[in-house]
Structure 1
């Protein structure tokens, strides 16, 4: 499996798992291959409307904050095998 395939699998997996939460702006944030585990670790970011501040209108129209998830993908099978929260320091 090449990196581009792992990214596609991760994005599709996140879109499916969180489909009922109205996520949007799904995008790649990080990717890493772990040779000794034969895994791709792909971090995907997305936005959810309900993450917007309730009083956003009073403070100006601010975009929803990003949520980050790291998807583990088995390099041999090409299947997503796990997902974790990922905190990215800015």
Structure 2
């Protein structure tokens, strides 16, 4: 079974295969949780993205943080899903 560090590594490597480095600046680990049945790790990663609004076109105001939750199978180390995490 994967431990927490291995699950985070799997999710981080997976997101890097989906996006270019330009698309995932300032990648951060936000949360990790083992499912109640112990079969999956839910790993939340975030990164900075730019808004495409003309009103938010300057500096830090144009940046927002996106959150993605990766469900990693604790036995096979395969990513089962990626979802948008909303607050």
Which TM-score applies when normalising by structure 1?
A: 0.78
C-alpha distance after superposition, 1:23-77 (max 9, x if no partner): 211110111001415000000001124x36544466x643611000000000001
Q: Which residue of 2 aligns with 1:76?
A: 75
Q: Which residue of 2 aligns with 1:5?
A: 6
d(CA) in 2 for partners of 1:37 and 1:61? 40
d(CA) in 1 for partners of 2:7 and 2:42? 9
Gaps of 5+ in 1: none
d(CA) in 1 for partners of 2:52 and 2:29? 21
Deviation, 1:19, is: 2.2
**Please, what is the CA RMSD of the aligned residues?**
2.3
**How many pairs were matched up?**
86
Q: Is contact 1:52-1:65 (8 Å) kept? A: no
Which TM-score applies when normalising by structure 2?
A: 0.80
